[in-house]
A = this chain, B = another copy of it.
């Protein structure tokens, strides 16, 4: 390992420069004006794989943004690992809250600040660099490796889902490795054994046939914005309880170990979460421990409401139409399609009678639960233990990685969710960052993980 460590130390600065080059490309997958940038970010990943020495490294066209595919299959008799990541990033609004521009990566206090630094370019780049180190030091990789990187993770991931469902054969593998999660702190290595699923919906509310003046019609006009407020307030109350009939009945009982971990909070995660949010008290269902609320309970959030007038000044308009983006996070036992049907029905029943409502499922993904007793999970745990000097904790995460559920369902292999992000990385928010020490420890861990997979 000394040779590998020397290689990593020697090429430290170039690894960071390669990451910066990737972060400079504003690959925002949801904004059509960035389509060219998204393509450029994909090409950058292909070049990285070619530089590592992959025998195949190419773009796969899709109906949307291209997939990056690479393979190195010269370890006969050894297992094949499918590595997943995404090269697309979230939009940057509100842009005015960024300390430095989102696409001018800047190092401050041993962190690199940029949109996508943690989610997910930094975490994918550390895999590239682990592969490079292994290849250049050992002359080969310890296992067979397939790499599949998508450009629509922040936009619903439709293309990769279509590809995996229609072309599963070339992706055949013994384990999947996803590097898109975070750990409680730099000192505490962790493996994620559970993720929540998601449905992301749009609720459209229609009132009069045109926008109306509130002076002339106020008192007799349906107001779709007001109707939306009523629907949203009825869907979830101020105490965090979701009022969708049939929802909570689908929930499995947690294990005793889980209950104990959530209740005792040995890593003091509650306090860390409170500090990250900058609030006096945690919100939500107070009768459940916070760690259960963010990982194993269903939640419902409204992300934006449009319609009417929100510009400078005053406009006394009653809009004809209003829309809300509302998502639900789902424990792994919830089937997104079933939950969407319950959601849609509840919205229609909760809507005031003077408006009509349309509910659309913009995208959805299943949750996932992986046993810590599988071989790949054990290899990952051993690698983390060596690099961090202590055994990892096993955690359930509140976020959604639909691809993990898809690997589970289609490829039917264990999925290792080992990421190196930190809780204060500001994912999807201004001033997203990634810790440099986590970046380099991630490289070290991945080299060891792949070596252990060969044993």
Contacts and interface: CB of A to CB of B under 8 A. Distances in A.
A79 B286 CA distance: 72
A353 B280 CA distance: 11
Contact of A217 (B219, B226, B294): B294
Contact of A325 (B314, B325, B352, B362): B314
A314 B429 CA distance: 14
Nearest to A363: B314
A214 B277 CA distance: 12
Interface stretch (A124-132, A137-145, A296-304, A334-342): A296-304
A299 B309 CA distance: 18
A270 to B, nearest CB: 8
A90 B428 CA distance: 35
A164 interface: no
Contacts of A214: 299, 301, 303, 327, 329
Contacts of A316: 198, 200, 301, 303, 327, 428
A233 B230 contact: yes
A285 B218 CA distance: 11
Contact of A216 (B278, B294, B353, B362): B294
Nearest to A200: B314
Contacts of A293: 219-220
A310 B301 contact: no
Contact of A317 (B237, B303, B400): B303
A154 to B, nearest CB: 8
A278 to B, nearest CB: 3
Contacts of A232: 225-226, 229-230, 233
Instruction: Give the oligomeric copy count.
Output: 2
Contact of A352 (B94, B238, B423): B238
B315 A278 contact: no
Interface stretch (A7-15, A203-211, A249-257): A203-211
Given A217-B277, A316-B200, A91 B311 contact: yes
A267 interface: no
A91 B278 contact: no
A222 B426 CA distance: 16
A298 B277 CA distance: 39
Interface in A389-441: 397-400, 423, 426-431
Given A226-B302, A232-B229, A282 B220 contact: yes
Contacts of A237: 230
A221 interface: yes
Residue among A217, A221, A428 with max Cβ neighbours from chain B (10 Å):
A217
B222 A279 contact: yes
A429 B213 contact: yes
Contact of A307 (B156, B227, B304, B430): B304
A227 B431 CA distance: 25
10 contacts: A31-B312, A97-B210, A213-B429, A219-B294, A220-B294, A221-B279, A222-B277, A222-B283, A229-B230, A238-B352
Nearest 7 Cβ contacts at the A-B interface: A215-B399, A209-B278, A30-B313, A219-B293, A229-B232, A304-B308, A304-B310
Given A30-B315, A31-B311, 8 more contacts: A91-B309, A156-B314, A196-B215, A198-B316, A218-B299, A229-B302, A303-B317, A304-B307
